[in-house]
Amino acid sequence: MNKDYLKLMDLAKDSIRYAYAPYSKFRVGAALLMTDGSVYTGCNVENASYGLSICAERVAIAKAISAGKRDLRAIAVIAEKSEVTPCGACRQFISEFGTDIDVIYIKDGHIVVKKIADLLPEAFNSACL
């Protein structure tokens, strides 16, 4: 396992503590590695109007984009009480920035690394417009 990816999982796990999940109690953390080595973290933020909630992955990506970063290398996601992969909306959001981005998560107790293109084949992208 890539040492950077293990660190990313640790940062994602640490980010869980900032999650705002008073309704679902489903707390999630994410950590995003850019190609320049910089890292951005995120946590899920719920809202009483559930549709306005935002996932940890999208929070981390928004932080990076708002800091002028666009070159995503990998993103790790972890939940407090269960295993989790990025939801469909997050998969689409991640794929906006490339098909070669590694997604790191835990499945059956093991760390898994997959390309976003494998998690979201035939994604809607700018070529579709």
Distance, in Å, from the CA atom of 77 to the CA atom of 127, rounded to the nearest integer, reads: 28
CB 59 within 8 A of CB 77: no
Catalytic residue positions?
Answer: 57
With beta carbons less than 8 A apart as the criterion, state whether 64 and 92 touch. no
Sheet containing strand 39-43, strands side by side: 39-43, 28-34, 72-79, 102-107, 110-115
Query: Which residues have a Cβ under 8 Å from the Cβ of 25 and sit 6 or more positions away?
Result: none
